[in-house]
Amino acid sequence: MPIVEIPVGPQHPALKEPIRFIFQLDGEIVVGAEPRLGYAHRGIEKLAEHRTYVQALYLSERICGICSVAHTTCYVETAERVFNVEAPPRAKYIRVIVSELNRIHSHLLWLGILAHEVGFDTLFMYTWRDREMVLDLLEMITGNRVLYAINMIGGVRHDITPEMADKARKVMDYLEERTKYYKRVAEEDPVFNNRLAEVGILSPSDARRLCAVGPTIRGSGVKTDIRRDDPYSAYDEVPFNVITYDEGDALAKTLVRIDEILESINMIRYALDHMPGGEISVRVPMRPPPGEAVGRVEAPRGELFYYIKSDGTMRPYRFKVRTPTLANIPALCRMLEGIFVADIPVVVASIDPCIACMDRVLLIDKSRGKKWVWTKEELRRYSLKWYEEHGRR
Amino acid sequence: MSKSETLSVEDAIKRILGDHVSTLQAVPPRYIFLELRPENFKYDLKRLIDELGIWHISTISGVDLKDSIELIYHLWCDRYSVGIFIRVKLPRDDPKIESISDILPGAVLYEREVYDLLGVRFLGHPALERLLLPEDWPDGVYPLRKDVSLEEARKFMLGKRAKRNADS
Amino acid sequence: MSLLLDLFKSLVYPGVLFVIVFSLLLEWVDRKIYAHAQNRIGPYYVGPLGILQPFADILKLLSKEDITPPHVDKVPFLLAPPLLLYLSLVGMYMIPTGALGEPHAILSFEGDYLVVLTITTLITMFVFAGSWASVNRFGAIGSIRALLLMVGYEVPFFLCAAAIALDAKTLCLSKMAEVQSTALWFIVLQPLGFIVSILSLQAELERIPFDIPEAETEIVAGWLTEFTGKKLAMIRLTSDIELFLLSSLVVTLYLGGPWGPGGPSILWFLLKVLGVVLLSSVLRALLARYRIDQAIGFFWKLVVPLSFLQVALALFMPL
């Protein structure tokens, strides 16, 4: 049978965000996959060079909605190294707590999406309901549900009060029970299990060779985790296990993420119990000394990498981001080889892709100029103007 | 992660590369910046990778220094638990360097990204094509170079769309 | 007078109007159960507890723009939806519902059993013809998957149907129901057949775990992709009536049809239908979707042997 090439994307129901693959098919079997990225490229790296360090913090938060706190943590950790300041211990613990809550929320969200991809909508609804509790908790601590804006260079914005800690502990107990239940579902439900086991296998040698990161490589049995290898914030003080599974298939990646939720729950409990007192932020000068710094953070999807170079002015000279999804794309293409067409959604979902995050990003609307905060009135006027120009359809 | 370990990895690097290393700067607790010359770059890198058992590359970041283009290869060494960041400076008018995608296949997309955004040519790369920028982006304009202003980048990014908007 | 009564029976009750209204109610029941199993509310706003939501959905679709893409093969594409609706309604005529206290269906004759079984097959064939004619990649894949799936569930379902006919010694649905009124229900005598029939019903209706022909995350809406407006409304209505038809077939074959204490009554019948729909909805909520090869494997490796066993049992251990 001749090899048939079919393009999938940039719009496709299995892909929640724009990315394009060209699949080479031999009948029902995929023999090759070539990705085309950039549909959500917004040029944030260039834009950040024209923003002050504080503005760039908000920019970095907006790279990704789901792992937003991983981006700001990475940004402030890197920027603090450039500024030569250190956040107070309590702030570091709060960063750990918010990061781990974010990881739980991201993994639950992912589990729901995976369930939806295999047509298991009941699990999808259940996980997303439980995820709401994490979001409520995050809203209570930070005041926001998606972009938390908790981190600042030199500390954090909001403290965690004892009442909040009590509430969080209760939610953790509930979530632990639920997560154990989901683990049983993933291990025991025959249909769900059939769709995931032995699908999209990534061998440990391929995972290392192609520099996969995060749960994708840990699902192949390679024990690597930035939180352990290159600890930041207070991760060197909070005990946890690095979860690995050896099979390398979609099921192993699922179980890695579910077990990581359980680890995160324990980490949050430990951090809440052992939080040191004191200040939550320190003052930071406007201008850093010239220099450069690297920051690495274990985002829910894997290693997040920032590089900031300063030339002594108020604006970063170079701001470089490498998100985990980009690192996992070569491994994904390897995993897609030799699978059935019907498994494509599962395998693509198994790396937990975040396309907007990966493409990063150019554009702010020029007509808005440099204005970031809009009043309701201005927004109304803008919308009226827009409709005048474009006509009502 | 004691200090002696960091020192020993510095020694190890010096022993492997000898005088090919021009600067070596340790950033406690776990990072080391070093600079290599572009001529022997791939050979030196391969020796370093083989001797230290490095398998992970985080990314390649390119910086336009106005008089040259600097690439930093961010490697992670499991054996010593250190990040080894290798700097190499290329001439700005014709930046090119040997591709390392055959020794570290994980670098394929990062090299394409640097090529796309900074215009560095990687010799021997299997498919050095555009990665992120749109198809109608003009050749020879690299958005992360300092001589491309934000306004220009915006104009090119909009591309055909800008023209269409202007016409209507 | 008898002509008027016949007209009333065929068009209003228990004919067309009743079937349509009750099918839409069944959709509401199905959606409510599915939603509650998932910790959702389900239809809520239209009518008390959202009971009118399926009616509103159909009305909405009827008022939508009806698009016929330029490249489609017009005859099968335009004919398939009304034919599907027509076929499923005809099937319902032969089901003994017990309406007006009558033990027989509106259309009842020796051999109507075969007609109903043929109709269930024809529905899948028309689905294939219509979506194949729509010249859409997702439609084409969906229609092929529908046919493939049919290869899986048709054989075991017909085998079990044969087992029932062997035991009941008739090919008339109304008589089959009557047989069970004096003896035991067939669910007791042929439990394997009942299980196989429920699984086949799930596959025939393209419900989870066998919703492979319209797997949203893989092939958009599958074979439905190009159908819009009135055509989609007819297809939606057909799938509701098909749910009614197949669950009443199961009720007739295994649960004694309209017979219950006090003779045949439509109340017994509808209660039993609701029970079957409940079972099907719970199955839908509990399971994930099979891959097509896994589904076919499941049917041929597990369900077909089961149904052969059932036929053998029926042959060697008659009533």
The mean per-residue pLDDT over the stretch C122-147 comes to: 83
Question: Which residues of B fall within a CB distance of 8 Å from A230?
Answer: 30, 76, 81, 83
Considering the domain architecture, whether residues B86 and B162 belong to the same structural domain is answered as no
Considering the domain architecture, whether residues B31 and B60 belong to the same structural domain is answered as yes
Count: domains in chain B = 2
Q: Predicted confidence band at C28 (pLDDT cuts at 50, 70, 90)?
A: very high
Please say if the pLDDT value at position A360 is more than 50.
no
Count: domains in chain C = 1
Helices and strands (H and E) in chain A: how many: 15, 8
Residue C286 has what pLDDT? Answer: 84
Considering the domain architecture, whether residues B146 and B100 belong to the same structural domain is answered as no
Considering the domain architecture, whether residues B15 and B36 belong to the same structural domain is answered as yes
Residue C274 has what pLDDT? Answer: 92
Please say if the pLDDT value at position A120 is more than 60.
yes
Considering the domain architecture, whether residues B148 and B74 belong to the same structural domain is answered as no
For the segment C33-66, what is each residue's pLDDT rounded down to a tens digit? Answer: 989 888 888 888 888 888 999 999 999 998 888 8
Shortest CA distance from A208: residue in chain B: B55
The mean per-residue pLDDT over the stretch A328-351 comes to: 81
Evaluate whether A20 touches A26 at the Cβ level (below 8 Å): no
Q: Listing from the earlier edge strand, what are the strands of the sheet with B68-77?
A: B21-27, B31-36, B82-91, B68-77, B56-64
Nearest to A307 among B72, B104, B133 (CB): B72
- Taking one residue from A and the other from B, the number of pairs with CB-CB distance under 8 angstroms is 94
Evaluate whether A217 touches A226 at the Cβ level (below 8 Å): no
More confident residue, A100 or A388: A100
Q: Inspect the interface and report whether the beta carbons of C291 and A14 lie closer than 8 Å.
A: no
Residue A385 has what pLDDT? Answer: 59
Q: In whole angstroms, what separates CA C152 from the centre of its chain?
A: 16
* Structural domain includes residue C25: no
| Residue-range definition of the domain harbouring residue B156 | 134-168
- Kindly report the average pLDDT of chain A as a whole number: 82
Residue C247 has what pLDDT? Answer: 92
Residue A376 has what pLDDT? Answer: 45
Q: Inspect the interface and report whether the beta carbons of A329 and B85 lie closer than 8 Å.
A: no
* Structural domain includes residue C156: yes
Evaluate whether B22 touches B37 at the Cβ level (below 8 Å): yes
Considering the domain architecture, whether residues B47 and B74 belong to the same structural domain is answered as yes
Please say if the pLDDT value at position B161 is more than 70.
no
Q: Inspect the interface and report whether the beta carbons of A119 and C209 lie closer than 8 Å.
A: yes
Residue A179 has what pLDDT? Answer: 92
For the segment B98-123, what is each residue's pLDDT rounded down to a tens digit? Answer: 888 888 888 888 888 888 888 888 88
For the segment C106-119, what is each residue's pLDDT rounded down to a tens digit? Answer: 888 888 888 999 99
Q: What is the CA radius of gyration of chain B?
A: 19
CATH number at residue B124: 3.30.460.80
Residue B40 has what pLDDT? Answer: 85
Considering the domain architecture, whether residues B152 and B76 belong to the same structural domain is answered as no
Residue A39 has what pLDDT? Answer: 74
Interchain touch C–A (≥3 Cβ pairs closer than 8 Å): yes
Please say if the pLDDT value at position A374 is more than 80.
no
Smallest CA–CA separation between A320 and chain C, in Å?
A: 34
* Structural domain includes residue C31: no
Residue A387 has what pLDDT? Answer: 54
Q: Predicted confidence band at A100 (pLDDT cuts at 50, 70, 90)?
A: very high
* Structural domain includes residue C26: no
Considering the domain architecture, whether residues B51 and B100 belong to the same structural domain is answered as yes
Residue C220: closest CA among C133, C294, C137, C124: C137
User: Which residues, at least 6 apart from C167, have a Cβ–Cβ distance to it below 8 Å?
Assistant: C186, C189, C190, C314, C318, C319
Residue A367 has what pLDDT? Answer: 36
Distance CA(C257)–CA(C98), nearest Å, equals 8
Q: Predicted confidence band at C166 (pLDDT cuts at 50, 70, 90)?
A: confident
The mean per-residue pLDDT over the stretch B35-63 comes to: 87
For the segment C251-277, what is each residue's pLDDT rounded down to a tens digit? Answer: 988 888 888 777 778 888 889 999 999
Please say if the pLDDT value at position A265 is more than 90.
yes
Considering the domain architecture, whether residues B88 and B49 belong to the same structural domain is answered as yes
* Residues 91-150 of chain B whose Cβ lies under 8 A from any Cβ of chain A: 104-110, 113, 117, 130-134, 143-144, 148, 150
For the segment B66-78, what is each residue's pLDDT rounded down to a tens digit? Answer: 888 999 999 988 8
The mean per-residue pLDDT over the stretch C280-302 comes to: 86
| Residue-range definition of the domain harbouring residue C186 | 69-316
Q: Predicted confidence band at B3 (pLDDT cuts at 50, 70, 90)?
A: very low
The subunits that touch chain B, with at least 3 C-beta pairs less than 8 Å apart, are A
The mean per-residue pLDDT over the stretch A33-60 comes to: 82
The mean per-residue pLDDT over the stretch A279-283 comes to: 87
Note if the pTM is more than 0.90.
Answer: no
Q: Dmax of chain C from CA atoms?
A: 58
Chain C residues within 8 angstroms (CB to CB) of chain A: 37-40, 208-209, 211, 215-220, 285-294
Residues counted in chain A: 393
The mean per-residue pLDDT over the stretch A300-309 comes to: 89
Considering the domain architecture, whether residues B117 and B59 belong to the same structural domain is answered as yes
> In whole angstroms, how far apart are CA C54 and each of C30, C127, C279?
11, 22, 20
Residue A365 has what pLDDT? Answer: 34
Considering the domain architecture, whether residues B52 and B69 belong to the same structural domain is answered as yes
The shares of helix, strand and coil residues in chain C, as percent rounded to the nearest 5, are: 75, 0, 25
Q: Predicted confidence band at B80 (pLDDT cuts at 50, 70, 90)?
A: confident
Residue A369 has what pLDDT? Answer: 35
Residue A261 has what pLDDT? Answer: 92
- CA neighbours within 13 Å on the CB side: how many for A28? 9
Q: Inspect the interface and report whether the beta carbons of C289 and A191 lie closer than 8 Å.
A: yes
Considering the domain architecture, whether residues B23 and B85 belong to the same structural domain is answered as yes
Q: Inspect the interface and report whether the beta carbons of C218 and A14 lie closer than 8 Å.
A: yes
Residue C74 has what pLDDT? Answer: 85
Task: Express as a percent the part of chain A with pLDDT over 70.
Answer: 86
* Structural domain includes residue C106: yes
The subunits that touch chain A, with at least 3 C-beta pairs less than 8 Å apart, are B, C
Query: What structural domains and CATH numbers belong to chain A?
Result: 44-332 (1.10.645.10)
Q: Inspect the interface and report whether the beta carbons of A318 and B109 lie closer than 8 Å.
A: no
More confident residue, A344 or A169: A169
Give the β-pairing of B121-123 and B96-98. Answer: parallel
Evaluate whether B138 touches A34 at the Cβ level (below 8 Å): no
Distance CA(B77)–CA(B5), nearest Å, equals 12
Residue A381 has what pLDDT? Answer: 57
Choice among A96-100, C3-7, C111-115 with the minimum mean pLDDT: C3-7
Q: What is the CA radius of gyration of chain C?
A: 19
Residue A266 has what pLDDT? Answer: 92
For the segment A61-75, what is each residue's pLDDT rounded down to a tens digit? Answer: 888 878 888 889 999
Highest mean pLDDT among A324-328, C52-56, C217-221: C52-56
Tokens 């061998």, residue? A203
Task: Express as a percent the part of chain B with pLDDT over 90.
Answer: 2
